[in-house]
Structure 1
Amino acid sequence: MSDHRVTPSYNVDPSLWNRATTYEELKALLEHKEQYIYIAGDVTIDVPNEKGALKIGSNQTVFSSRSVSSDGGRLLVAEKYDSNADEYPVIYVASGGRLSSLRIEGPVQVSDTAKKTIGIQTEVDSVNVMIDNSEIYGWPWAGVSIKKSRDANIHHNYIHHNIKSGLGYGVVVQNGHATANIECNIFDYNRHAVAGSGGSGEGYYATHNLVMQGGRTRCLPSV
């Protein structure tokens, strides 16, 4: 089965790309507000398992080469073997920020865990965040959390094994005043593929997604 990857096109002169091969390099480029940050397809970056370890700023793009012929660069967050819940997002994305063509691997891919880590979360009051053409997996609470953010676009991703009991969302739209377009993704082994908390001003359009048989059968709760 294809995992719905596409071959992306970036209309940016490669001479303007800033390349990162380590967490320290990636964090420094983000803090220096570089607009385009490229992670090569054969690179794995170990990201600390902590709140806001990466903050994608306004109109910044972090991307790799995930395509029909490449798995893409990997952001890897290791599990913490302690009793803490780790109830936080590891990656924040601000208005106009984009994560594209990456593998974003979280710390836990099983349902029986006390951990509550979120992979990617929008900054409060952000608009037009884009998460596309990536593989997102191993996040106990949610792979992608749209929180008090408008017009997020989540498309052409393979989102799987976000499956903690009682949580476990592929994409969750939550805390009210949040909207998202969720389209052309493949979901598998999530407790819920897409969910919302039902807060005021909250909603999503989920179209042309493929929800596979893994995980719970009630995959698209209404809001």
Structure 2
Amino acid sequence: MDSIVHQPVSSETLVDVVEGRLREDVINGVWEPGARLAVEDLRQRYATGATPIREALSRLYAEGLVAMVHNRGFRVPLMSLEDLLDISRTRAAIEMAAVQHAVEFGDGRWEDAMHSAFSILERRAQQTFSGDTERLAYHDAHHAFHAALLSGCRVPRLMALQARLELQHSRYYRRLPFGIVTGPARLLEHRRLFDLALARNAPAAGAAVAEHVMLTANYVQAKNFKDLTGTEI
């Protein structure tokens, strides 16, 4: 019987793993806005050394998901209506252009990806409404649908900007009361995006996705939230 040789995990792979876990924790609100991200605490949480932690923090700082205070280390960025509006308006403009490119250039594989992603989103939403699945499963399906929608875009730099803004936006989106986020009306919105994209109506699909991106900011603004630090939106 052949023996199995276990290869050691490279430092690059380890950093990638820590980065992914830390990113999800920041987005999902494990720490309150403004909380200090001490290397020693993170070492204990992720059971790894200080070097991968520092590298992961530096990467997330570049993504805008971690803040750095001079001589005081890393912290979770503060949250505010002004920041949310800035992120949302910029993302809406970027995503409008990306969707229009996707509709123009998307091929049969793009259409297949759209059909598959929307089917999963629809199923996850129904399961969430009935209490049969966790909130995170819906968020994963929601992200996958938007990724499929944009997958036909052939402008890499545009997509890199979109990905960064979506991560920053997710910090706010995931703090909303779940009924606001996943109500049946939201599923109809995604059906509308799906139909407009497959109909190859680039202007309407672009306008619809920009409107969709602004929903979180519009909701927070309507509720007159001024300081989101440490609060449940």
Question: Shorter-chain TM-score: what band?
Answer: under 0.3
Higher Cα radius of gyration: 2
Greater strand content: 1
Structure ranking higher in helix proportion? 2
Q: Which has the higher contact order (CA 8 A, sep 6+)?
A: 2
